[in-house]
Amino acid sequence: MFMKYRNLAGEPSAVFRLGIIGSDNSHAEAFSRLTNLASSEPRIEDARVTHIYGTDPERTKEVATKCEIPNIVTRSEEMLGNVDGVLCVWRHASKHMPDTLPFIKAGIPAFVDKPLAHTVADARQLIDTALTSKVGFTSFSTLRYCKPTVDWIASLPGAVEKPVTGMSAGPAEIDSEYDGLPFYGVHTVEMMLATFGYGVESVTAVEQNKNVMATCRYKSGPVVTLNFLYHAAYVFHVTVYGTKGYSSHAVDSGDSYYQGMKVIMETLRTGKWPLTPEQLLEPVQVLSATLKSLAEKREVALSEV
């Protein structure tokens, strides 16, 4: 299946070559360990990070050395023609669109770390370009693919029947140096969407002492509260109240990188998107509506962002 790929010597190879864009993020190391280190358990087989790019030479060299990445490039475009797929993992979401676009335009499949983009316009451009190029493309928080979380979500119809309301909570810094609330707040948003589904209609947000609470109204009926925790203990937690009962879940991130990387590789290898274009866009819309609601002190429809 993978013999269409060629190694760096131009020879047929079963190994899928990956390029990392953004060495600053801890995810650069986490994903590379899964593919490159024989000591990694579990491990992603038949893939290897062969190239890495970052703006901090010392950090880039550190990740390359720790994870046995053979090639450091000084410009991300140097990877074109030398990799079969890219992982764009910058902490700053504002870098995601400009640095990923050249690759998907060239027909190279891509995973973009959370959040997909800093603005809805950037997210749309990435999605539309990937659709036009007909390449595998996705973006998500790996927390949504933790096995205990997937199993818990699957149990909800029997436990609560039809969801009526609930909450999703997690750490976030409204003044984060990495483009603010969306950098970490996206985890909380994606946990809501993975649990309650898609179709948020509007958001109303308030802030006090840098803690943010955002009420999301679904077109289908449920109302869900997002709690972006600034001073609270570090925890990701979801509660669902339904017509039959209720259920709560504390997210265990233990296998998140491995489970997420399996989904990423399936996407890059097959070209099949695990999330629809609308599902990729909605987390960015919810976050943008949250910030607009805070700024304008009113309910904001997703259609406005």
Render pLDDT for 188-240 as a digit per residue (tens, 0 to 9). Answer: 999 999 999 999 999 999 999 999 999 999 998 999 999 999 989 999 999 99
- The residue-averaged pLDDT of 278-303 equals 98
> pLDDT of 51-92, one tens digit each?
999 999 999 999 999 999 999 999 999 999 999 999 999 999
> How does pLDDT run across 13-34, given as a tens digit for each residue?
579 999 999 999 999 999 999 9
Task: Quickly tell me which residue has 């990495």 as its tokens.
Answer: 178
Q: Rounded mean pLDDT of 143-150?
A: 96
Is the pLDDT confidence value at 8 over 50? no
Q: How large a percentage of the chain has pLDDT more than 70? A: 96
Can you give the pTM of this predicted structure? Answer: 0.93
Q: Quote the mean pLDDT of the chain.
A: 94
Which pLDDT does position 41 carry in this prediction? 86
The predicted-structure confidence for 31-44, as pLDDT tens digits, reads as follows 999 999 988 889 99
Model confidence band, residue 50 (pLDDT cutoffs 50, 70, 90): very high
pLDDT of residue 5 exceeding 50, the answer is no
Q: What is the predicted pLDDT for the residue at 13?
A: 57
Q: Confidence band (pLDDT; 50, 70, 90) for 254?
A: confident
pLDDT of residue 7: 42
Please determine, for residue 1, whether its predicted confidence score (pLDDT) is greater than 60.
no
**d(C-alpha 46, C-alpha 57), whole Å:** 28
Would you place residue 12 in the very low, low, confident or very high pLDDT band (cuts 50, 70, 90)?
Answer: very low
